[in-house]
Amino acid sequence: MRKMQFMSVLSLIFLLIGHSVLAAETKKVEFFGVGATVTELANQEFKVETKGEKEGEGFVHTPSAPTSTTVKYKVTLKGTGNVYLKIEETDARGTFLNEVKSEEIQLTDEWKEYELDAKIASTQSQLDVFVLTSTKQAMEFLFKNAEVLNE
């Protein structure tokens, strides 16, 4: 009887440990507003509402460390107004190294994927990727599938 209780307790411990390991591996990707509010909708889609107080409002995301010095920022956008994509590179101390900015993008009512390629100084760099308004304007746009690929 004791052996059966011991085995039950042991099985329960393995189940709990396995569940916590899986939960730790599920990392929620976070996007932060820059002069804007970011709201998660259904199906990994997000809504960005800018305040219109200055140029350069939108959202920022910090992806995991790059594994290549050539990266590609991809994001799917929908809305009205003009935005640009931007990649900022900093070193481990937070010192600014490089900025790559796209041309102005005219958003449409249909989902469209946009890309921005960048050559970075080091795989030790931290990247911040943005979608920002190109002028001082209050606006609303949607995005999904924001990712940084190592080329």
CATH of domain 28-150: 2.60.120.260
> CA dist 89 to 3, 18, 124, Å?
58, 37, 10
* Model pLDDT for residues 60-92, shown as the tens digit of each residue: 999 999 999 999 999 999 999 999 999 999 998
- DSSP-assigned letter for residue 111: -
The three-class DSSP label of residue 39 is strand
Tokens of 8: 């039950």
Identify the CA nearest to 82 among candidates 126, 19, 138: 138
Domain residue spans in the chain? 28-150
* Model pLDDT for residues 3-21, shown as the tens digit of each residue: 445 444 434 344 334 444 4
Tokens of 103: 């041309």
* Model pLDDT for residues 89-148, shown as the tens digit of each residue: 999 888 999 999 999 999 999 999 999 999 999 999 999 999 999 999 999 999 999 999
Tokens of 63: 């992806």
Instruction: Give the span between the Cα atoms of 49 and 92, in whole angstroms.
Output: 31
Instruction: Give the span between the Cα atoms of 141 and 31, in whole angstroms.
Output: 14
